[in-house]
Amino acid sequence: MTLTPFRVAPWFRTRPWGTRELAPWYDYRVDGEPIGEVWLTGDNCLIKTGNHAGGELGVLARAHATELLGAKFAQATQFPLLMKVLFPKEKLSVQVHPDDALARKYGEPHGKTECWYVLEAAPDAAIALGLKPGTTTEQVNQAIATQALEEKMQWLPVVPGEMFFVAAGTVHAIGPGSVLLETQQQSDLTYRLYDYGSGRELHLEKGLEAVRLTTDAGKVAARSEGAVQILVESHFFRVERMVLGPGAQHHGVSGSAHVLFAANGGGAVLGEGFEPVGLHRGQIVVVPAVCASWELHTDAGMEVVCAIP
């Protein structure tokens, strides 16, 4: 095999709404601005193990698109999914992401549909997902002008283990008190509609063009397929969850890249033709499409969330 499973180093991104305390997820000293996002599969993230250690994930995706991602991504110019962990200590801005068509209108390759899996949540943690039924475009405009947009949104409590789908065009926000695993299209396109008077740039013209009054965003009920739970399935990604007891094994088959995130516990990815790759809480391992058969093994037990483009 040209490519074998490998771990990717996290990339710590500062955000004004973030935190300086990343434990127990990451042993990382925060100097200066707080950390709001830990990018796990950004194009600039560095490969940590294997023959391509030290290289960037995006460069590998361009050079070995079919082997890494599968035949349908033969012309890929980047890794298709951005997986990251969010640490909101303060409210994020009220924002919206464009769909593919609108993004391309303004010269970007694609838009941003995403989903959030709740890793941790305080009792009062909540997210805002979509506008209240019956809200009109005129009311959205007026609410932005009067700084009352929060009141037009549907606020939902969150608890660990829940999955929320955030379709492009959905007006949304995240409150403090949770830790979220986000899986999204590989894009950083965000249009801020309201930011609590922070002074940061707003993107009202493009943002209002992107807004959809109704979308299929919302909490997603998991469904089981054998030992695997399907958390969300969309045109852009499929996200699964596996809970393995002590000494358990999960046998996987690729054909497409699998991004394995350890939400709890630890273990290793094993297979013929490559050295075991350790996988512990907060880390990811990418299993290339060309890796026809692989196995996830744990001695003490682990919870794994797997994203497939």
pLDDT value of position 53: 97
pLDDT value of position 1: 57
Same domain, 280 and 203: no
248/237 Cα distance (integer angstroms)? 26
Peptide bond into 123 cis (omega under 30): no
Same domain, 216 and 253: no
Same domain, 62 and 206: yes
> Last residue of a domain, which of 220, 241, 273?
220
pLDDT value of position 68: 97
Going by the DSSP 8-state scheme, the letter that residue 160 receives in this structure is T
Backbone angles phi, psi at 13, to 5 degrees: -115, 130
Q: Is there a domain that residue 131 lies in?
A: yes
C-beta separation of 147 from 186 below 8 A: no
C-beta separation of 95 from 198 below 8 A: no
Q: What is the span of the domain harbouring residue 262?
A: 223-308
Same domain, 210 and 231: no
150/139 Cα distance (integer angstroms)? 12
CATH number, position 291: 2.60.120.10
C-beta separation of 93 from 173 below 8 A: yes
According to DSSP, the residues that pair with 34 across neighbouring strands are none
> Last residue of a domain, which of 177, 192, 220?
220
> Last residue of a domain, which of 185, 220, 255?
220
Question: Could you state, in chain order, the average pLDDT of each consecutive group of 10 residues for the chain (309 residues)?
Answer: 92 96 95 96 97 97 96 95 98 96 95 98 97 96 93 97 98 98 96 90 95 97 94 97 95 92 98 95 97 94 98
Annotated catalytic residue, options 20, 192, 212, 281: 192
* Domain count of the fold of the chain: 2
Residue 238 bears catalytic tag = no
Please name the residues in contact with 277: beta carbons below 8 A apart, sequence gap of 6 or more: 5, 6, 7, 49, 50, 268, 269, 285
Same domain, 276 and 163: no
Q: Is there a domain that residue 137 lies in?
A: yes
pLDDT value of position 196: 87
